[in-house]
């Protein structure tokens, strides 16, 4: 290999091996602003349970469907503000917006004919507070955090249909507009581009309590299939943070 090429290659890598400048007091007394965008992986939780009943005077069977089965593409955006209370520790407040869409899917049968459901998009606004600890002050900065907060979920009706019989029941009340609790943890890795700017990746489990249910299926024997709705998920987001 040409020695001049090797020297140039090593020179180009040198900035990656040098630690970003670090203040003597670390994070303490400093503010941070974080921007995050990504998606959620649905780990567990059901949109509705299974059950049997009668719809339009006909025997009806519904099978359980999870959040992963009902909802597809989703987007999460977050904005956080933090304040350093220790050289490697900070408290923070985070706001978030999350949306996931669904497509019609079969959820059971009516008199042996396929029964489909089409749920409205799931939308939420969230507010979390937490404590984050950084394990390193070098250029690569792993960290972990504990968080808790609230999520404000929009009403979520569903349209049920039996296409082979030409039957459509639109906008059946299912879940109410609700405020739910959320608890979890973050693990992440930031790469310092400079003393005050970093990029990275972050993930961590979240448990969300169940939203309020509506009795749109009252009198069918299927009243309790929406007596569920709590979920475990795993946000996976790219991060851009500024510290000053």
pLDDT at residue number 91 = 98
Q: Which residues pair with 41 in a beta bridge?
A: 234
pLDDT at residue number 4 = 44
pLDDT at residue number 6 = 36
Longest dimension (CA), the chain: 85
- Alpha carbons 197 and 46: distance in angstroms, whole number: 40
pLDDT at residue number 14 = 38
Q: Which residues pair with 203 in a beta bridge?
A: 187, 236
Report yes or no: 66 and 4 within 8 Å, Cβ to Cβ.
no
User: How would you classify the pairing of strands 113-119 and 71-86?
Assistant: unpaired
Give the number of other CB atoms < 10 A from CB of residue 35: 14
**Residue ranges per structural domain of the chain:** 3-243
pLDDT at residue number 19 = 44
Q: Output the CA–CA distances (angstroms, integers) from residue 36 to 45, 92, 96, 223, 240, in the order listed.
A: 25, 14, 9, 39, 6
Tell me the pTM: 0.85
User: How would you classify the pairing of strands 113-119 and 105-110?
Assistant: antiparallel
What tens-digit pLDDT sequence spans the chain (244 residues)? 443 433 343 344 334 434 445 565 789 999 999 999 999 999 999 999 999 999 988 999 999 999 999 999 899 999 999 999 999 999 999 999 999 999 999 999 999 999 999 999 999 999 999 999 999 988 999 999 999 999 999 999 999 999 999 999 999 999 999 999 999 999 999 999 998 999 999 999 999 999 999 999 999 999 999 999 999 999 999 999 999 9
Please count the CA atoms within 13 angstroms of the CA of 242 that sit on its side-chain side: 4
Q: Where are the beta strands (DSSP E) in 87-196?
A: 89-102, 105-110, 113-119, 122-134, 140-153, 156-162, 167-175, 178-192
pLDDT at residue number 22 = 53
Its CATH class, for the domain covering 3-243, is mainly beta
- Alpha carbons 143 and 133: distance in angstroms, whole number: 6
pLDDT at residue number 21 = 52
pLDDT at residue number 73 = 87
pLDDT at residue number 132 = 98
Report yes or no: 99 and 154 within 8 Å, Cβ to Cβ.
no
């Amino acid at each position: 290999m040409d020695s001049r090429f090797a020297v140039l290659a090593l020179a180009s890598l040198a900035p990656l091996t040098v630690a970003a400048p670090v203040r003597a007091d670390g994070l303490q007394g400093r503010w941070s602003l974080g921007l995050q965008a990504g998606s959620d992986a649905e780990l567990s939780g059901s949109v509705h349970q299974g059950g049997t009943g009668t719809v339009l005077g006909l025997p009806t069977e519904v099978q359980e469907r999870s959040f992963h089965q009902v909802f597809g593409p989703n987007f999460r955006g977050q904005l956080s503000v933090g304040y350093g209370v220790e050289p490697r520790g900070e408290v923070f407040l985070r706001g978030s917006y999350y949306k996931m869409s669904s497509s019609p899917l079969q959820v059971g049968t009516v008199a042996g004919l396929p029964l489909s459901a089409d749920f409205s998009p799931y939308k939420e606004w969230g507010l979390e507070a937490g404590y984050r600890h950084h394990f390193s002050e070098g250029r690569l900065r792993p960290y972990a955090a504990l968080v808790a907060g609230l999520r404000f979920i929009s009403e979520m009706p569903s349209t049920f249909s039996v296409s082979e019989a030409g039957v459509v029941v639109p906008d059946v009340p299912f879940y109410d507009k609700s405020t739910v609790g959320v608890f979890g943890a973050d693990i992440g890795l930031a790469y310092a581009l400079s003393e005050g700017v970093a990029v990275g990746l972050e993930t961590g489990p979240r448990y969300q309590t169940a939203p309020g249910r509506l009795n749109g299926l009252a009198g069918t024997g299927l009243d309790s299939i929406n007596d569920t709705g709590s979920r475990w998920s795993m946000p996976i987001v790219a991060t851009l943070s500024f510290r000053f």
